[in-house]
Structure 1
Amino acid sequence: MAASSTLLPLLWLASPALPVGAFSYSEGLEAAVEAGWVHDEASAGDWIEDQLHLSLARADLPATARAWSAARAGDAAALRALDDWVRHSRETAELRLQTEQIGHGLWAWLDSLDARPAGWWPHPTPPTQPVALGMALAVQAHPDTPLADALAAIAFGWAENAVQAAIKAVPLGQAAGQRILRRLVQQIPAAVDDACRRSHDADPLALQAYTPGLGVLSSRHEAQYSRLFRS
């Protein structure tokens, strides 16, 4: 019973069925396909694995961890500072819109559960995705949930969405998608370890969002002729 009380809320938050619209974004993968950088199972796996380590582990996961800690402490100023960092870290309009819209979806989801503490976020604009996730963890996760378990669940949910985007955009078969997901499952523990370390690091450069190739492709995607995804 104790294991279920910590595991089930994480499965809920990581579920692709959570009504936040994450499935409609490829986070640059569709533009990478258009540019020929991703064209088969191997290149799709490489792209998503690189994004896991170079983007998610360095930026969004540690930001979520810090937001979770700030929310549990009732530190509204720290939450706002994190949210400002996330908004300024997005290199293109569509990547910024993505984090804002998914954050809005998470905020609306918390509101629908009557689980949104007003004191944490006294602002009219909903928080960005990593900050909203941190607050959702503070509300929904069991108090004894280990940080690494929470971040692993979030990373797996992200990986599932990324693989589904690859299946549609490359395109790939379901078996190929599962093989990529197996690769990612093997890499997630190292990414989570990196994110946990960065979440506790006082160095202001511990959180990084330097992915120039992704920024270039995302800029191209904004004007791409044919698109399935919003990013």
Structure 2
Amino acid sequence: MTTDQRPLLLLFTWMSPAFPTGAFAYSHGLEWAIDCGTVRDAATLSQWIEDLLTRGSAWNDAVLFSRCWQDDPGMLNALALALATSRERHLETTQLGRAFRIAASVFAPAILQDEEIAYPVAAGTACASMGIGLEDALLAWLNGFAASLTSVAVRLVPLGQTAGLEVLRDLAPILTATAARAVAASLDDLGAITIAADIAAMQHETQPSRVFRT
């Protein structure tokens, strides 16, 4: 029997940097961290992303994404929006969520129709509705998050393309471990302590000269 590869192909499409969510326009506060020198090379970038994945906003989003296979999407969306720690974080997740919903509706018209939808809930709901496996979907989504922030640093630090790829290579065990934790997590496991990253997102709101929207 031949395995149906259509869900996997759909996952490749949705998590591709070319999928029209406009993720390239957002830095998740990283632009400010680079501007003030907190993130200045491959090592500090890798640590910054690792902290977000293991104990920050990306961890919370991973848990919310994974719960889309079991819990009410409306409840998860309200919780995701409440967990946005600043105006720009709210802007980022809702604009990415809206763009993802519009683009993904070509394939999955049943995506949650809330006026504002957080990106992890939009993506998780779409993947679940199309029969994409949770483990594969979450790992691809987390990899996209890490790749987007690495791309920001490649342009702004600046890091070379090779250095950026080395960061992603070194983050691979963190990505797989975070995905495994999130798959087994409940909503009680939500929580973030990356205060510096939250402050960076707030400071970016008034940063005099900037390239990215967040």
Query: Under a length normalisation based on structure 2, what TM-score does the superposition of the two structures give?
Result: 0.91
Distance 2:90 2:116 in 1: 13
Aligned-residue CA RMSD in angstroms?
1.9
Moved over 6 A (4+): none
Change (3 A) 1:121 1:37: same
Kept in 2, the 8 Å contact 1:62–1:207? The answer is yes
User: Mapping of 1:87-126 within 5 angstroms?
Assistant: 87-111=81-105, 113=106, 115-117=108-110, 121=112, 123=114, 125-126=115-116
Greater shift, 49-58 or 31-40, is seen at 49-58
Distance 1:194 1:214 in 2: 22
Per-residue CA deviation, residues 68-101 of structure 1 (Å, 9 max, x unaligned), is 334xxxxxxx211111111110111000010000
Kept in 1, the 8 Å contact 2:41–2:159? The answer is yes
CA shift at 1:3, angstroms? 6.7
Distance 2:107 2:203 in 1: 40
- The structure richer in helix per residue is 1
Kept in 2, the 8 Å contact 1:152–1:192? The answer is yes
Distance 1:101 1:149 in 2: 24
Kept in 2, the 8 Å contact 1:58–1:194? The answer is no
- The number of equivalent residue pairs is 213
Distance 1:193 1:169 in 2: 31
Distance 2:57 2:69 in 1: 16
Tell me the equivalent position of 1:74. none
Kept in 2, the 8 Å contact 1:13–1:154? The answer is no
**Residue 167 of structure 1 is aligned with which of 147, 151, 154?**
154
Provide the secondary structure at the position in 2 that maps to 1:83.
Answer: helix
Provide the secondary structure at the position in 2 that maps to 1:16.
Answer: coil
**Letter of the aligned partner of 1:115 in structure 2?**
A
Per-residue CA deviation, residues 190-220 of structure 1 (Å, 9 max, x unaligned), is 111111121xx3xx53122443211211111
Change (3 A) 1:122 1:160: closer
Identity %: 34
Tell me the equivalent position of 1:133. 123
